[in-house]
């Protein structure tokens, strides 16, 4: 049973209506890679355009959480990476929200950028990233830095804390209000977050495209109690992000169905690992291999 189902069954409190994942605005490092050679990654600022992008993102997010003004009972809570560019993005996004709509904000180190290994010498990093493409983006570990798999581990730890925050009402949320969690982070950390949440495989992760600056993904609670990207986003958008047709079908299913039927109604997930079910003639309860080969 999923964490969300557990919380619903306990009846302790309402789940957040949305979890919105936001990538930071354009930074100096995004337009000039040599910046990383002289400035610590965590201290790289937004460009003027990055500030504008973040401000516009705030307005768009405001319209999402307020249902374009149709909903009057809602609040937001922010989690933010400690990097300068994410904190600056939060500051600009926050301009769209009146104080009475913001429950709080918290800096969270576990959603920081992937560690690339201190100062990044341009020519050396070019060679390293070429090696990463050959090795695979998920498991390749940067010298003196992290792999995406390392980021996965700390994001998984953050998710556990996130559920405890919700379950124990550490966010001081009034259940009468729609709660919207807004997480301002980095491209890879966001993709890893989605991978962990939706149980995507490493192969599926490898096909995901990065978010643009100040671009965001909206995970919204469906009518059956599951979060889905398909409540707010279109199939065309998800296809552009690198989701396969099966992954998109799963998102559509999550928007309307209960997790209890997930394995039965979404066989594509098991088909990722097994290839014999189509020819299976075994009855339920039999323990012998369906191929009848001992």
**Residues designated as active site:** 24, 113
State the first-to-last Cα distance of the chain, in angstroms, to the nearest integer. Answer: 32
List Cβ neighbours of 169 (8 Å cut-off, separation of 6 or more).
12, 13
Neighbours of 41 (CB within 10 A): 23
| H or E segment to which residue 27 belongs | none
Torsion of CA 144, 148, 154, 157, to 10 degrees: -160
Q: Are 21 and 64 in contact (CB under 8 A)?
A: no
Helix (H, G, I), strand (E, B) or coil at 105: strand
Helix, strand, coil tally for the chain in percent (to 5): 45, 15, 40
Q: Is 162:68 a contact under the CB 8 Å cutoff?
A: no
Cα(36)–Cα(140) distance, integer angstroms = 20
What CA–CA distance (Å, rounded) separates 28 from 39? 10
Closest CA to 217 of 258, 178, 184: 184
40 contacts: CB under 8 Å, gap ≥ 6: 118, 119
């Amino acid at each position: 049973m999923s964490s969300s189902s557990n919380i619903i069954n306990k009846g302790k409190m309402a789940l957040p209506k949305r979890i919105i994942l936001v990538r930071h605005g354009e930074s100096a490092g995004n337009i000039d890679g040599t910046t990383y050679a002289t400035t610590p990654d965590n201290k790289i600022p937004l460009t003027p355009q990055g500030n504008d992008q973040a401000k516009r993102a705030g307005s768009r997010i405001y319209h999402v959480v307020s249902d374009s003004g149709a909903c009057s009972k809602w609040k937001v809570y922010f989690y933010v990476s400690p990097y300068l560019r994410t904190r600056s993005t939060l500051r600009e996004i926050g301009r769209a929200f009146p104080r009475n709509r913001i429950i709080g904000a918290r800096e969270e180190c576990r959603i920081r950028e992937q560690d690339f290994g201190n100062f990044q010498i341009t020519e050396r990093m070019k060679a390293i990233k070429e090696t990463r493409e050959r090795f695979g983006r998920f498991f390749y570990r940067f010298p003196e830095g992290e792999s995406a798999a390392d980021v996965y581990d700390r994001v998984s730890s953050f998710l556990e804390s996130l559920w405890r925050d919700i379950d124990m009402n550490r966010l001081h949320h009034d259940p009468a209000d729609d709660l919207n969690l807004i997480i301002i982070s980095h491209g890879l950390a966001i993709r890893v977050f989605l991978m962990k949440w939706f149980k995507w495989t490493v192969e599926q992760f490898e096909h995901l495209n990065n978010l643009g600056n100040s671009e965001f993904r909206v995970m919204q609670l469906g009518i059956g109690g599951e979060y889905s990207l398909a409540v707010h986003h279109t199939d065309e958008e998800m296809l552009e992000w690198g989701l396969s047709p099966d992954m998109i079908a799963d998102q559509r299913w999550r928007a309307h169905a209960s997790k209890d039927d997930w394995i039965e109604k979404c066989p594509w997930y098991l088909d990722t690992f097994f290839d014999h079910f189509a020819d299976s003639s075994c009855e339920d309860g039999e323990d012998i291999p369906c191929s009848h080969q001992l």
